[in-house]
Structure 1
Amino acid sequence: MNTQFIRYTLGNILMILAGLMLLPLIVSVIYQESWVNIASFLGTSLVTLVIGFALSRTKLHRRTFYAREGFTIVSLSWILISFFSAIPFVLSQQIPSFIDAFFEMASGFTTTGASILLDVEVLSHSMLFWRSFSHFVGGMGVLVFALAILPKAESSSVHIMKAEMTGPTFGKLVSRLSSTARILYFIYFTFMMITLVCLYLAGLPFFESILLAFGTAGTGGFGVLNGSIAPYDSFTVEMILSIGMIIFSINFNLFYLVYIHQAKRILKSEELRWFLAIIAIAVLLISINLISTSYGVSNAFRDSFFTVASIISTTGYSTALFDHWPLFSQLILILLMFVGGMAGSTAGGLKVSRILLLVKIGWAEIKQTIRPNRVVAIDYEGRRIDSKLANTVLSYLVVYIIIFIVAVLVISLETPNLLSSFSTVAATLNNIGPGLGIVGPSQNFAHFSPFIKIFLSFIMIMGRLEIFPMIILFAPNTWLKRY
């Protein structure tokens, strides 16, 4: 274990975080907020900078590292970032409890959107900005952001990208890893700015447009108003956000194909076709179900489209109390929570690519059972899938189910029924935010005990990092010099 490089990297990450805290500090000055808010960000930024600088001064005997160090760096970075980012809320007393503040920022950076706040609108502009800005940074990945701005990135940094980027596989866009990170963030930032401009032109205040654009880009879902998106009551705003949430749930590698003038290759994406088909089928089924319960036709399609886009993208914005919808519609939404967006996007969930591969693996197994002597090949995205990738997908599913069951058992200690326990874990492990029952769109997570809040905070981080980095962090063998 190269602990020296781990300390060095964590130090750089904390210094970057200290610099990012200057943005809400500027917002606080612009809106002439109290000196307590200004001091909260300034003081936390300085402390974070000093600690980060001290760690980064670690003398390095070697810069190379492997998957074990990469997973450890990523896991510790997300925990430390959530920890230090929570401090301004506590110092300003806008979230007096540190555990609550830690939960809020873990939810923010993991782009979950689950909240313990009973009244969002009482927060100052700077705190609202910091809360939503965490979505933007966490959406593409904190470490990907660091790789994009650091002057040099070692070739072994691919282990960091693999640990943080979503999906069963990872591929560089270009030969240099730092260049890949910059391209990804250029595409990401461009779409975020387009969303911001569209929301502003739709009539929203500029500040609220920024925050909602952050939430949409990171598929996070922190709102500015207590009723999420419903108080705006604007068809235009809802369509902008719906389309935006879907766009940010698409694999960014496909956008890169447009960037290099190879847009025709997008049509060959099997995962994209499945993703769009799932959205269309879900909207159609929920709309029909709602219409059958005296829902107006136009409102049924409007609410179902926005809600499906919000849930499958794991954003969590809401315009309707979908926990009051018919059971059939609620079950479809629960299924969408597990499906999530495409690999290589800012969305959470199992990912469409894994679902597609699981279907193909299952179908191949059926064929093999019928004709045992037959060799059944599995093709995905125009290439043959080897047994190693198939085993990786199946192993992930098994570990995911085990973690999910254990989490449901723990959460059941403080929930009144199975639906609430199940949807609480589904909403946090899949980084969605609102669920059903006591964590529905009109509820929040404030009623849980401190222990459960800490537990769910780590579940959110585990879900964002796709489980294995967090397991490796706490595995006893990880910290041994030799296996």
Structure 2
Amino acid sequence: MRFNFRLILNLLGLLVLLNGIFIFLCLPFSIYYDENIYHIIISGGITLLAGGLTWFLTLRGLNTELKKKDGYLVVTLGWLTMSLFGTLPFIVSGTIPNFTDAFFETISGFTTTGASILTDIEAAPKGILFWRSLTQWIGGMGIIVLAVAILPILGIGGMQLFVAEAPGITPDKMKPRIKETAKRLWIIYLGLTLLEMVLLMFGGMTFYDAINHSLTTMATGGFSTRNASVAYYDSAYIQYVIIFFMFLAGTNFTITYWGLKGKFRKTFENEEFRNYVYITLGVSFIVSFFVFSSDWQGFERSFRDALFQVVSVITTTGYVTADYTAWTPFITAIFFLLMFCGGSAGSTAGGIKVVRHTLLFKNSFLEMKRQLHPSAVIPVRLNNIAVSREITYNVLAFIMIYLLVYGVGVFLMSFTGIELDTALGAVATCLGNIGPGLGEVGPVDNFSKITPFGKWILSILMLLGRLELFTVLMLFNMHYWKRY
């Protein structure tokens, strides 16, 4: 099967074109805060020109049939291309003049990781910080899914893109047509973002801070406009609002859709959602007990700090209100393990995902039963429905490759001269798209001290984690490039 390279270039041009439009959305903030607007104009202009020309020049004789192999290539190259052009506002404005640092910051945004190299966030121009937050919001649901909603207008089917964007276990579709699914996802995503912004403003946040934090909360990204992250706002109301929306963002959007339609019974019947709730509350109570026992602050504050940090890590958001590495070694170990948990499938969260852990544990326990009854057919069940062996094998393969990539990442990062705890935390947080890690990249530090080689390794891991491994690794399989 041959690749449709003309169509691939056309789609990449469309994505870059959309990227340029998003860059110009930062212009009103630069104007309002009396900043240099030419940085935005130049960056957006270059991006629009490059995307527009690529898209226009590939229109003639375009074959709009998009194969699955083309979809994988478009998704991976799309994320890289978006990140490359996304560095322009940082570089042109001089906020991050170094290309390696600018690319790290940008791909951290688009992959919703939240790992940053900025040492003084509040000193950066407001328009540039808004672009930084916007990259996470775009990446949260995926620029590819946004394009899927537009592609049918252009006469191009988008199913292959959607499958490549969300490989593995496919969440229940709210509508049979992919166009309608993408639209409903974005309506919910946009609506919850606006609702959180309004609630944060009621809590005393400025419009600018509220819109930035809403964008990065719903994206489970964690970029903040403050050096101290959410800890800057010593407000129980603001922190509980952010906790609630982080939890929602880490929930399967199909479940959220059912909840909005009042189908609460159907929501709680979902096994992954129940496990997601149990893990979040169970670990939060354990952590809050130890924090309360070893600290002078009251139980409510201990519970709030514990709940905030647990939800932030499980949903891979990465906001911070307290330094969990400063509590106890036991709690630090808990948070390290949480970095391998992840939110729900079909959410904006990264990580391995709760549903994969659920199937892994079920299959492991059933394997012991199969050993006792080798002739019996004992399938793994999820939501009382038998799961096919193909899905079970997919889960096992994903987790095995995930751990293998993690091990290789730690091995490579150790060559950069950093401490082992820092290497373990940096790789776990970047592969899981979380943000803060351990050691020198912990909740109160950032990634500015990592060497350029280390930043490129972590950038690759962020992309692998965001696209759930197979989409990117597929391109390194020799069979992928063979013609059939």
* TM-score (normalizing by structure 2): 0.95
Q: What is the aligned partner in structure 2 of residue 115 from structure 1?
A: 116
CA drift of 1:99 comes to 1.2
Q: Which runs of 4+ in 1 moved over 6 A?
A: none
Q: What is the aligned partner in structure 2 of residue 413 from structure 1?
A: 415
Distance 1:317 1:385, change over 3 A: same
Q: SS where residue 152 of structure 1 aligns?
A: helix
Distance 1:55 1:468, change over 3 A: farther
Distance 1:226 1:109, change over 3 A: same
CA drift of 1:283 comes to 0.6
Q: Does the aligned pair in 1 maintain the 2:151–2:157 contact within 8 Å?
A: no
Q: What is the aligned partner in structure 2 of residue 236 from structure 1?
A: 237
For residues 210-253 of structure 1, the C-alpha deviation after alignment (integer angstroms, 9 at most, x for no partner) is 00000101000001011111111111111010111001100001
- The answer to whether 1:303 aligns with 2:324 is no
C-alpha separation in 1, matches of 2:426 and 2:96: 22
Instruction: Give the AA of the match of 2:315.
Output: S
Q: SS where residue 292 of structure 1 aligns?
A: helix
Structure 2 gaps of 5+ residues are: none
Q: What is the aligned partner in structure 2 of residue 379 from structure 1?
A: 381
For residues 305-333 of structure 1, the C-alpha deviation after alignment (integer angstroms, 9 at most, x for no partner) is 11011110100000101111211111111
| Pick aligned residue for 2:347 from 323, 339, 345 | 345
Instruction: Give the AA of the match of 2:214.
Output: A
319-328 or 409-418, larger mean C-alpha shift: 409-418
Q: SS where residue 226 of structure 2 aligns?
A: coil
Q: What is the aligned partner in structure 2 of residue 48 from structure 1?
A: 50
CA drift of 1:170 comes to 4.0
Instruction: Give the AA of the match of 1:447.
Output: K
Q: What is the aligned partner in structure 2 of residue 395 from structure 1?
A: 397
Q: What is the aligned partner in structure 1 of residue 209 from structure 2?
A: 208
| Pick aligned residue for 1:460 from 415, 437, 462 | 462
C-alpha separation in 2, matches of 1:449 and 1:253: 41
Q: Does the aligned pair in 2 maintain the 1:166–1:344 contact within 8 Å?
A: no
Q: Does the aligned pair in 1 maintain the 2:136–2:216 contact within 8 Å?
A: yes
- The answer to whether 1:130 aligns with 2:131 is yes
C-alpha separation in 2, matches of 1:35 and 1:225: 22
CA RMSD of aligned residues (A): 1.8
Q: What is the aligned partner in structure 1 of residue 223 from structure 2?
A: 222
| Pick aligned residue for 1:18 from 17, 20, 41 | 20
CA drift of 1:298 comes to 2.7
CA drift of 1:93 comes to 0.8
Q: What is the aligned partner in structure 2 of residue 75 from structure 1?
A: 76
- The answer to whether 1:446 aligns with 2:462 is no
C-alpha separation in 2, matches of 1:223 and 1:140: 19
C-alpha separation in 1, matches of 2:270 and 2:215: 27
CA drift of 1:39 comes to 3.6
For residues 258-305 of structure 1, the C-alpha deviation after alignment (integer angstroms, 9 at most, x for no partner) is 455544311210111100000111011111222232343232211101
Instruction: Give the AA of the match of 1:347.
Output: A
Residue-pair matches, total: 481
C-alpha separation in 1, matches of 2:367 and 2:149: 42
Q: Does the aligned pair in 2 maintain the 1:167–1:354 contact within 8 Å?
A: no
Structure 1 gaps of 5+ residues are: none
38-47 or 229-238, larger mean C-alpha shift: 38-47
C-alpha separation in 2, matches of 1:249 and 1:76: 26
389-398 or 30-39, larger mean C-alpha shift: 30-39
State how 1:78-97 maps to structure 2 within 5 Å.
78-97=79-98
Q: Percent sequence identity over matched residues?
A: 36
Q: What is the aligned partner in structure 1 of residue 200 from structure 2?
A: 199
CA drift of 1:35 comes to 4.2
Q: Does the aligned pair in 2 maintain the 1:166–1:345 contact within 8 Å?
A: no
Distance 1:410 1:351, change over 3 A: same
| Pick aligned residue for 1:29 from 16, 28, 31 | 31
- The answer to whether 1:176 aligns with 2:166 is no
424-433 or 155-164, larger mean C-alpha shift: 155-164
For residues 187-232 of structure 1, the C-alpha deviation after alignment (integer angstroms, 9 at most, x for no partner) is 1111111110000000000000000000101000001011111111
Distance 1:271 1:35, change over 3 A: closer
CA drift of 1:415 comes to 4.6
CA drift of 1:391 comes to 0.7
CA drift of 1:436 comes to 0.8
For residues 350-399 of structure 1, the C-alpha deviation after alignment (integer angstroms, 9 at most, x for no partner) is 00000000011101101111222322121102311111111111111111
Instruction: Give the AA of the match of 2:387.
Output: I
Distance 1:247 1:87, change over 3 A: same
C-alpha separation in 1, matches of 2:99 and 2:371: 55
CA drift of 1:153 comes to 7.1
CA drift of 1:154 comes to 6.6
C-alpha separation in 1, matches of 2:391 and 2:101: 39
CA drift of 1:52 comes to 3.5
Q: Does the aligned pair in 1 maintain the 2:137–2:219 contact within 8 Å?
A: yes
* TM-score (normalizing by structure 1): 0.95
Q: Does the aligned pair in 1 maintain the 2:20–2:45 contact within 8 Å?
A: no
Distance 1:299 1:308, change over 3 A: same
C-alpha separation in 2, matches of 1:168 and 1:407: 25
Distance 1:331 1:56, change over 3 A: farther
Q: Does the aligned pair in 2 maintain the 1:110–1:138 contact within 8 Å?
A: yes
Distance 1:42 1:68, change over 3 A: closer
State how 1:316-355 maps to structure 2 within 5 Å.
316-355=318-357
C-alpha separation in 1, matches of 2:215 and 2:378: 45
Q: Does the aligned pair in 2 maintain the 1:350–1:430 contact within 8 Å?
A: yes
CA drift of 1:257 comes to 2.2
Distance 1:233 1:259, change over 3 A: closer
